Amino acid sequence: MKKQICNLVFILAMATFAASCGKDGAVGPQGDKGEQGVKGTTGDTGVAGPKGATGNANVKIDTFTVKNEAWLYNSTYYVATAPNTSSGYFSRYYDRANTLLTQSFLNDNGIVMVYYQSTPGFYKDQWLPLPYSFYNGIGKYALNFAYQTDVGKVRLHFFFSNAATTSPQLNTYNIPTLRFKVVALTGTIVTGMKKSNINLNSYTDVSNYLNLKQ
Q: Output the furthest CA–CA distance in the chain (Å, rounded).
A: 143
Please give the sequence-ordered ranges of beta strands (E in DSSP) within the chain, or none if there are none.
Answer: 59-66, 72-82, 85-97, 111-117, 128-129, 132-135, 142-150, 153-161, 178-185
Predicted pLDDT at 214: 60
Read off the pLDDT of residues 52-66 as tens digits, 9 standing for 90 and up: 334 467 899 999 999
Who wins on pLDDT, 127 or 136? 127
Predicted pLDDT at 123: 77
CA distances from 87 to 84, 133, 144, 161 (A): 11, 16, 14, 11
Give the total residue count for the chain.
214
The span from the first CA to the last CA of the chain, in angstroms, equals: 109
Mean pLDDT to the nearest integer, 184-207: 93
Read off the pLDDT of residues 21-49 as tens digits, 9 standing for 90 and up: 445 556 556 666 667 767 767 667 656 54
Predicted pLDDT at 212: 84
Mean pLDDT to the nearest integer, 109-117: 95
For residues 193-203, b (16+ Cβ closer than 10 Å) or e, as one string? beeeebebeeb
Read off the pLDDT of residues 176-195 as tens digits, 9 standing for 90 and up: 999 999 999 999 999 999 99
CA distances from 94 to 69, 127, 147 (A): 10, 19, 9
* Predicted model pTM: 0.71
Mean pLDDT to the nearest integer, 152-170: 92
